[in-house]
Structure formats: C-alpha cells, structure tokens
C-alpha cells in the first residue's frame, strides 16, 4: 500500500511527500523489492539528491542488469546530470519500454556509428515536435558525412526541415508503425531512430556545436512578420508561451496562468506577442480586460509551424515555459528565455542556466515547486535590463 501511494504521489508530482514516504518504506525493504526502490530513486532525482539516486540505480542494475524500467529511468537521470555517454546507452532501452509504444517496423540495418561515406542513412522520426527539432541538430553533421540522408519528420515540420536541410531527402509522415513511404526511398544502407543519433555524436559537452541555428525560416515570411510587428509600435518584440505539454507529459509541472506573467508583461518598452499553441483567445481577452495590456494574437501564425518559425525569427526574444516553442527558437538560433520547473525534464538538466543543444537559450529555474513568482520576477528584471541595453 505504501509503495502504491508513493508511486501515485510521484506521478502527481508531489515529490516531497513521495520522497518522505518512500524513504521510510525502503529503509525496511531489500533492494530486491525493485519497484519501491525505483520510485524512491525517481523521487530523489526530482528532489535534487542526485548522488543517492545514482547509487540506487547502480544497486538495482547490479542485481537486474536487464531491468527495462531501471535502465529507462536512469537514462533520464544520467542525461539530466549531463553524463551523456552513459545516458545515451541507457536511452536505447526506450524501445523496450511501454511508455513509447511498440517499435516501428523499419527493415534496415541499424546504424551504430559506422562510416557513412557513399552510403545512405535513413533517420526515422520519434516522439514529439520538440524532440524531433532537438535531435535534428545532428542532421547537418550526418549530411556532411553520408552519401545520402533520408529524414522522416512529422508533417508539421516538413516545410521547415526541407528548407533547412537542402541536401537531405525529407519525408513528412504520421509516424505509422508500418511506414508506407519506405517503398519509395530506394536503397538504404543503415537506419537510425532520431533519438539514437546523439549516442554517436554527442557524448561530451564538447561534442555539442556552438551553432548559431540549424533551422531556417522562410525569409519572405520573416520580412512579412517583421512588418506586422513594426505596426505594433516601438519597443522590444517579445513572444510568450505559458502552458506546455499534456496530462501525460507533466503539464501541471510546467504550466502557468497568463495572469501569473503580469509582472513580466508590465515591463515598459516591450510589445508582447502570443505564441501559445492551444486555444487561448478568451484568456487573452480576459487578460486585456483586467490589465489593459493587449497581447498580439495571430492564429494563422500558430496553426502553421512554418509560419510560427517565421514569426519567432522576426521577434527580438521569446519567453516560454518548457514546450516545443523553445526548441523551435533555439534551433533557429533566436534568443529564448525558458522558465524551468524545479523538477525538470532531462533535456534541461538539473542545474545551470544554459542548454548544450541551443547556445541562444537561457534558463530561469524554479527553486520551490509551489512558487513561480520568483522566476517571473527574475525574468521581468532581466527583461528591463535588456530594454535598457545591458542584457543580450
């Protein structure tokens, strides 16, 4: 009963309560009671007690080296610790985890870092928009090595990826388990899922290139959105997004109310633009009625991801919670400030104010899970400095 309660508290992101309960429970249980100890390690990692969490994962895997959940959970932990070499190895266990569904049927030899000169590499899409954008940072390097690269992506990214990777054959799809487009790609030497690329290209922090952006918006549409932004009047043009994820991807943990951003939106010398991807027209109108501040809202720029890229490229800055728009801005090389929860996903790491994936990103970390106010106040202070020219 205690173990189940601890698991539920962890899933509900009540990490402090889960940690206290599981600590008491595991003090009485042997490590062979793997379920309870795994939940304890998760709670420890979320609470910042990383060394103890790592010790528990090591103990579990010493007795059950093929325990899928232990490997998959530890992958997230190691990657958040920036222990990339060990983390990417464990990340391969995602294909055996139920969390990502059944593996796709792609009948080509797996790429394990072999030379690619004169050969064709097929890179299949996986996971969400943000993941596909992030893992695509490896594509320019592979395109320079291989004879040919075929890159699958969700249809929403197809136009943007085709423009950004002109030497690559880009195929937009719905990520079917049995992909019908495979019949059209011709001879393929190797296949890699997108999330497996960093295992061979990003094992140390030094392996992450200091790139200025590897995605490229349509320059004509960027000019169009610059003119729309200019029409708002003088001032810094700042994009905003305040909700991220779904119920299955920790939405509660990385979501604010628009009203919570009032200290930020009150910054003089700024014009704010909505980048929130879900239906928020009523929320924007209620905010305007309450505060007198109008946030520009162009639904046509949100519906089409290529237009979103052009709008982001025209903005001076984007401020957002952890959601796909931060990946888009980072991949475009645009300045993006990210409000990160106290128990972050592995992509954002446990500490530090930068992201190895995106040199243009800056992180503002929540210290207390129950309070976003200090984060918003810090972002607002830095924004005032930027308006006055002292922050880049």
Which is more confident, 18 or 74? 74
Nearest to 54 by CA among 63, 45, 46, 65: 45
Q: How many residues does the chain have?
A: 392
| 2 pLDDT above the threshold of 60 | no
Predicted pLDDT of residue 62? 95
**At residue 12, does pLDDT exceed 70?**
no
Query: Which pLDDT value is given to residue 97?
Result: 82
Q: Compute the average pLDDT of residues 360-366.
A: 97
Q: Rounded mean pLDDT of 166-172?
A: 97
Give per-residue pLDDT as tens, 15-53. Answer: 677 788 888 888 899 999 998 899 889 888 877 788 888
Superfamily of segment(s) 2-100:
Tetratricopeptide repeat domain (1.25.40.10)
Instruction: Tell me which of 361 and 248 has the higher pLDDT.
Output: 361
Lowest mean pLDDT among 4-13, 217-226, 249-258, 267-276: 4-13
Tokens of 337: 């400030």
Look at residue 165 and give its three-state secondary structure: coil
pLDDT (mean) for 75-84: 93
Residue 1 reports pLDDT greater than 80? no
DSSP code string of 59-118:
HHHHH-TT-HHHHHHHHHHHHHTT-HHHHHHHHGGGGGSGGG-SPP---SPBPSS---TT
State the chain's mean pLDDT as an integer: 91
Name the band, by pLDDT with cuts 50, 70 and 90, for residue 250: low
Q: Which residues contact 321 (CB under 8 A, 6 or more apart)?
A: 241, 242, 243, 244, 254, 255, 256, 338, 339
Question: Residue 8: what pLDDT?
Answer: 46
Residue 297 φ then ψ, to 5°: -135, 115
> Is the model's pLDDT at 13 over the cut of 70?
no
Higher pLDDT, 330 or 73: 330
Q: What is the pLDDT of residue 99?
A: 73
Which pLDDT belongs to residue 42?
85
What the block records as the tokens of 314 is: 């025209």
Does position 321 have pLDDT exceeding 80, yes or no? yes
The third-level CATH classification (topology) of the domain covering 219-387 is: Rossmann fold (3.40.50)
**CA gap 318, 334 in Å, rounded:** 8
Q: What is residue 248's predicted lDDT score, i.e. its pLDDT? A: 53
Q: What is the mean pLDDT of residues 80-101?
A: 90
pLDDT of residue 43: 85
User: How many other CB atoms sit within 10 Å of the CB of residue 299?
Assistant: 11
120-207, CATH topology level: Rossmann fold (3.40.50)
d(CA 293, CA 274): 12
Q: What contacts 295, CB < 8 A, 6 or more positions away?
A: 240, 265, 272, 273, 274, 284, 287, 288
What is the percent of the chain with per-residue pLDDT over 90, rounded to a whole number?
Answer: 71
Q: Spell out the residues 6+ positions from residue 177 whose beta carbon is closer than 8 angstroms to its own.
A: 102, 104, 105
Q: For residue 142, give the nearest of 95, 79, 206, 202 by alpha carbon.
A: 202
pLDDT at site 247: 54
- Per-residue pLDDT tens for 109-135? 999 999 999 999 999 999 999 999 999
- Would you state the pLDDT for residue 343? 83
Q: Where are the domains of the chain?
A: 2-100, 120-207, 219-387
Asked, colleague to colleague, whether 120-207 and 219-387 share their fold, the answer is yes
Q: What is the pLDDT of residues 193-208, one digit of tens each?
A: 999 999 999 999 999 9
pLDDT of residue 10: 56
Biggest CA pair distance of the chain = 66
In the chain, what percentage of residues exceed pLDDT 70? Answer: 93
Higher-confidence residue of 176 and 192: namely 192
């Amino acid at each position: 009963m205690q173990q189940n309660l601890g698991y539920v508290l962890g899933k509900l992101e009540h990490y402090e309560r889960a940690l206290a309960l599981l600590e008491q429970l595991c003090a009485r249980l042997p490590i062979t009671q793997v379920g309870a100890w795994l939940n304890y390690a998760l709670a420890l990692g979320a609470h910042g007690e990383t060394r103890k969490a790592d010790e528990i994962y090591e103990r579990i895997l010493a007795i059950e080296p093929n325990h899928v959940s232990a490997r998959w959970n530890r992958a997230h932990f190691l990657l958040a610790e920036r222990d990339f070499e060990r983390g990417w190895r464990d990340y391969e266990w995602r294909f055996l985890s139920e969390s990502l569904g059944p593996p796709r049927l792609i009948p080509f030899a797996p790429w394990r870092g072999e030379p690619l000169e004169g050969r064709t590499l097929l890179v299949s899409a996986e996971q969400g928009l943000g993941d596909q954008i992030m893992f695509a940072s490896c594509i320019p390097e592979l395109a320079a090595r291989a004879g040919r690269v075929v890159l699958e992506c969700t249809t929403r990214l197809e136009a943007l990826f085709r423009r950004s990777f002109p030497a690559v054959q880009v195929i937009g799809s719905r990520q079917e388990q049995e992909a019908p487009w495979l019949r059209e790609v011709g001879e393929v030497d190797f296949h890699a899922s997108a999330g497996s690329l960093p295992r061979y290209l990003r094992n140390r922090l030094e392996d992450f290139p200091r790139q200025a952006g590897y995605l490229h918006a349509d320059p004509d549409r960027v000019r169009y959105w610059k003119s729309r932004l200019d029409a708002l009047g003088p001032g810094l043009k700042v994009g905003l997004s305040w909700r991220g994820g779904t119920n299955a991807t920790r939405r509660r943990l990385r979501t604010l109310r628009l009203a919570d951003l009032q200290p930020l939106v009150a910054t003089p010398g700024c014009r704010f633009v909505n980048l929130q991807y879900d239906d928020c027209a009523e929320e924007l109108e209620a905010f305007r009625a309450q505060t007198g501040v109008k946030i520009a809202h162009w639904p046509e720029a949100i519906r089409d991801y290529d237009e979103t890229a052009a709008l982001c490229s025209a903005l001076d800055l984007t401020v957002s919670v952890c959601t796909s728009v931060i990946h888009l801005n980072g991949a475009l090389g645009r300045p993006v400030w990210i409000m990160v929860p106290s128990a972050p996903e592995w992509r954002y790491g446990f500490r530090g104010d930068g992201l190895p994936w995106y040199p243009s990103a800056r992180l503002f970390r929540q210290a207390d899970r129950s309070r976003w106010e200090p984060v918003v106040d810090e972002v607002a202070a830095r924004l005032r400095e930027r308006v006055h020219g002292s922050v880049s």
